[in-house]
Amino acid sequence: MNKELQTVFHYHETTKHAQQRYARSLGYMDWASQPDPFRNYNGCETIELPIALENATPPYHLLNTDLPPAPLLKESLSQLLQFSMGIAAHKESGGSSWAVRCNASSGNLHPTESYLVLPPIMEEQNTKTSILHYTPQNHGLEKLSEFDTSFWDNLPKGSFLLGLSGITWREVWKYGERAFRYTNLDAGHAWQSIVVSAKMLGWKVTRLDSTSDTDIGTLFGLNQKTRFFEHEHADMLFVVSPSHVESSLRIDSLLENVPLSFNGIANKLSSQMQSWDIIPAIENATSVMQIAQQNTTQNHMLKDATQESKTVVLNRRSIHIMHTDTSTITQEEFHTILSSVNTSLDAKENAVHLALMVHRVEGYKKGLYILVRNDRDLINVQEHMHNDFLWNKTELNNLYFLEEKDVTMASKSISCSQDIASDGAFSLGMLCNFSEQLNAHGAHRYKELYWECGMIGQELYLEATSLGLSGTGIGCFLDDMMHGMLGIKDTRFQVLYHFTIGRGNVDSRIMTKPAYNRK
């Protein structure tokens, strides 16, 4: 095993939560050093984007059909960003206020930043390609660089690039050593938010999976260290396009034209930082990519008529109190939610399966179930779990009944004693094909596994919202307690994220204010 993979296995083991020992963190909130959730580049030209709230968007159930692509204009681009990475509302309670966004983020400090590479569309008479940073706080863009390139000749008209990066410090501040996990789960949430928002415009999002982190960093100026106080790392690069683009598309001809130095100095996010040696170690080990994976086809179910997609996206919220008496859901709702994540979300092989703890679903016995999202893993998952599990097929394709039992208390204990895990309709652990994927694809795959889990999480939030239900991502869980319940004894399969769905209340003391005070 190479050094990078050893670092990954070590990091994963070290940052497990257990009843006797939670992963290391400061253990309290050092409010004086709380990082700013908004990044700005001081000293560069800014562009205000029009607010897209009045734009008509397709019904949510039509998002997986082929919708006619919108033209690439400032207005459509603005809609894409507002309904994915933008602010959804401001909340106010007890004298404090905070912004909530369309994409979920553990701790709400949003480690994920977004960047664009745009062909000349923003201003008339401008023939230059620009690199821009999205600023959700004022729904605007900051122009970091401008240059000429013939790169766009290789792409369908109306295409552009969108990239995501991460500032792990925003998660480290709260979660200490486990923060790398949260940062990458949040990145997955952001990715799926962008996919969904692009679908509203009939656009396709393709991750360029052979572009290295180094090249993405160069493209967005993240390698220009003197412009940053806190480290910001490259994550993903997408082509957003009206039609299909190969994920192997190369960006060399673009990189040749990118200037060496950009405008703007990144704002300092905190007065001081804690340092945890394990964080730069895992960031470095997972920054080098090995092999691109195979594409698979997508096959989504057409659902019943629903509300406008922007309403679903803007109303997605995490719920912190579930109600046992109203959380029972119908079999149809259960199937709709699970079907939305049964197929591949990022057009790649699925490595993540859902181990379900069912509490209150009509037509389903209480107990343990598993949704195997990739047939290829079925035999292996069976071999690695308790050998007295039933493996009875259910009415939903790929969903197996494993064991009848009341798993409410287990669900709560596994989720760091959080009631939301036991008081809803069901909760679940995302069980990943772990050591095999890492050994086959290298250490970078560790990040990608979290991204897949985050995408599933964002989709579950949206499905629940569209059905009038509630959901919450659960990053705090006792890893090996969950493995113990499933009978998993080694690292062939590991849970990387949990989620709960039911009916909950938003705290009525919290007031909601508009996201942006302009049209």
Ligand X SMILES: Cc1cc2nc3c(=O)[nH]c(=O)nc-3n(C[C@H](O)[C@H](O)[C@H](O)COP(=O)(O)O)c2cc1C
- Contact predicate 278/53, CB 8 Å: no
The piece of 102-110, 140-148, 207-215, 478-486 that touches ligand X (CB under 6 A) is 102-110
Query: CA 238, 243, 249, 252: dihedral to nearest 10 degrees?
Result: -80
Name the one residue in this structure whose structure tokens are 């959730």.
37
Binding-site string for ligand X from residue 240 to residue 279, where x marks contact by CB under 6 A and - marks none = ----------------------------------------
Q: Which of 187, 474, 481, 501 binds ligand X (CB under 6 A)?
A: 474
317 binds ligand X (CB under 6 A): yes
C-beta of 247 vs 472, nearer to ligand X: 472
Q: Which of 24, 74, 300, 320 binds ligand X (CB under 6 A)?
A: 320
C-beta of 190 vs 361, nearer to ligand X: 190
Q: Which of 318, 340, 350, 398 binds ligand X (CB under 6 A)?
A: 318
How many residues of this chain interact with ligand X, rule: CB under 6 A?
A: 19
| Cβ neighbours for 13, distance < 8 A, ≥ 6 positions apart | none
Phi-psi bin for 264: left (phi > 0), alpha (psi -120 to 50), beta?
left
Cα gap 435→492, rounded to integer Å: 5
Closest contact distance (angstroms) between CB of 454 and ligand X is 6
494 binds ligand X (CB under 6 A): no
Closest contact distance (angstroms) between CB of 79 and ligand X is 19
C-beta of 52 vs 179, nearer to ligand X: 179
Strand positions, DSSP E, 316-379: 352-358, 367-371
DSSP assignment letter at 50: P
Q: How many CB atoms lie within 10 A of CB 349?
A: 17
Binding-site string for ligand X from residue 104 to residue 143, where x marks contact by CB under 6 A and - marks none = xxx-x-----------------------------------
The piece of 212-220, 353-361, 395-403, 472-480 that touches ligand X (CB under 6 A) is 472-480
Query: CA 317, 446, 297, 380: dihedral to nearest 10 degrees?
Result: -110
Cα gap 327→411, rounded to integer Å: 15
C-beta of 110 vs 233, nearer to ligand X: 110
C-beta of 385 vs 407, nearer to ligand X: 407
Closest contact distance (angstroms) between CB of 90 and ligand X is 12
Q: Which of 192, 336, 472, 494 binds ligand X (CB under 6 A)?
A: 472
- Contact predicate 112/187, CB 8 Å: yes
Binding-site string for ligand X from residue 182 to residue 201, where x marks contact by CB under 6 A and - marks none = x--xx--x------------
- Tokens for 345, please give them: 């979300």
C-beta of 206 vs 465, nearer to ligand X: 465
22 binds ligand X (CB under 6 A): no
C-beta of 119 vs 457, nearer to ligand X: 457
**CB burial readout 160-195, b (16+ within 10 A) else e:** bbbbbbbbbbbbbbbbbbbbbbbbbbbbbbbbbbbb
Closest contact distance (angstroms) between CB of 47 and ligand X is 26
Closest contact distance (angstroms) between CB of 498 and ligand X is 7
Touching ligand X, residues 406-435 (CB under 6 A): 418
Burial class (CB in 10 A: 0-12, 13-18, 19+), 414: buried
Picking from 219, 232, 376, the residue whose alpha carbon sits closest to that of residue 293 is: 376
Cα gap 7→30, rounded to integer Å: 28
C-beta of 76 vs 458, nearer to ligand X: 458
Cα gap 79→77, rounded to integer Å: 5
Closest contact distance (angstroms) between CB of 195 and ligand X is 16
Which residues here bind ligand X, judged by CB under 6 A? 100-101, 104-106, 108, 182, 185-186, 189, 317-318, 320, 418, 472-476
